Amino acid sequence: MIASDKPSSVPGTELRLAGIPASPGVVSGRLAIFSHEELRVRPTPIQESQIPDELRRLEAALLKTREQIQGIKDHLARSLGDGQTEIFEAHLLVAADSTIAAAVRRQLELRKVCVEHVYQHVIHAYAQSMKEMEDPYLRERAADIMDVGRRVVYNLLGRKLADLYSLDSPSIILAHDLTPSDTALLNRQLALGFATEVGSTTSHTAIMARSLNIPAVVGLHSVLSKCDLGAPVILDGYAGLLIVYPTEQTRYEYGQIEKRRLAVEQSLEVLRDTPATTKDGRRLVLSANVELPEDLPLIAESGAEGIGLYRTEFLFLNRVQFPSEEEQTNIYQQVVQASRPHLAIIRTLDLGGDKLPSHQGLDPEANPFLGWRAIRYCLEKPDLFKTQLRAICRSNPGGKVRVMFPMIATREELVAALALLGEAREELKAADIPAATEVEAGAMIEVPSAAMIVDRLAPLVQFFSIGTNDLTQYTLAADRTNERVASLYQPTHPAVLMFIQRVVQAAHKHGIWVGVCGEMAGDVLMTPVLLGLGVDEMSMGSVAVPRVKKAVQSLDYAECQAVAARLLEMDSGEESRKILVELAQRAYPELVS
| Binding residues for ligand PEP (CB under 6 A) | 309, 311, 350, 446, 467-470, 517-518
- Is residue 515 within the footprint of Mg ion (CB under 5 A)? no
* Residue closer to ligand PEP, measured from CB, 9 or 196: 196
Minimum distance from CB of 469 to ligand PEP (Å)?
3
**Which sign does the torsion angle of CA 166, 168, 171, 175 carry?**
negative
- Taking the C-alpha atoms of residue 183 and residue 315, their distance in angstroms, rounded to an integer, is 13
- Taking the C-alpha atoms of residue 398 and residue 407, their distance in angstroms, rounded to an integer, is 29
Question: Distance from CA of residue 499 to its chain's centroid?
Answer: 25
Cα–Cα distance list, 212 to 267, 396, 541 (Å): 20, 27, 9
Find out whether 439 and 395 touch, Cβ atoms under 8 Å.
no
Burial label for 333, CB within 10 Å (0-12, 13-18, 19+), is middle
- Give, for 543, the enclosing helix (H) or strand (E): none
Cβ atoms within 10 Å, residue 462 = 17
Instruction: Name the binder of 311 from Mg ion, ligand PEP, none, CB < 5-8 A by kind.
Output: ligand PEP
Q: Compute how many residues bind Mg ion; rule: CB under 5 A.
A: 3
Q: Which of 346, 348, 326 is nearest to 338 (CA)?
A: 346
* Residue closer to Mg ion, measured from CB, 196 or 473: 473
Instruction: Name the binder of 293 from Mg ion, ligand PEP, none, CB < 5-8 A by kind.
Output: none
Instruction: Name the binder of 302 from Mg ion, ligand PEP, none, CB < 5-8 A by kind.
Output: none
Backbone angles phi, psi at 231, to 5 degrees: -65, 140
Minimum distance from CB of 450 to Mg ion (Å)?
11
Minimum distance from CB of 426 to ligand PEP (Å)?
29
- Is residue 291 within the footprint of Mg ion (CB under 5 A)? no
Find out whether 587 and 555 touch, Cβ atoms under 8 Å.
yes
Site for Mg ion (CB under 5 A): which residue of 236, 470, 483, 519?
470
* Residue closer to Mg ion, measured from CB, 303 or 541: 541
Minimum distance from CB of 407 to ligand PEP (Å)?
8
Instruction: Name the binder of 468 from ligand PEP, Mg ion, none, CB < 5-8 A by kind.
Output: ligand PEP
Residues 6+ apart with CB under 8 A from 590: 264, 267
517 as an active site residue: the answer is: yes
Of residues 91, 117, 204, 359, which has the active-site annotation? 204
- Is residue 354 within the footprint of Mg ion (CB under 5 A)? no
* Residue closer to Mg ion, measured from CB, 292 or 517: 517
Find out whether 402 and 440 touch, Cβ atoms under 8 Å.
yes
Minimum distance from CB of 200 to ligand PEP (Å)?
12
Of residues 227, 378, 393, 517, which has the active-site annotation? 517
Minimum distance from CB of 467 to Mg ion (Å)?
4
* Residue closer to Mg ion, measured from CB, 34 or 377: 377
SS3 assignment for 67-78: HHHHHHHHHHHH
Count CA atoms within 13 Å of residue 354 on its CB side: 22
Site of interaction with Mg ion (CB under 5 A): 446, 467, 470
- Known catalytic residues are 204, 517
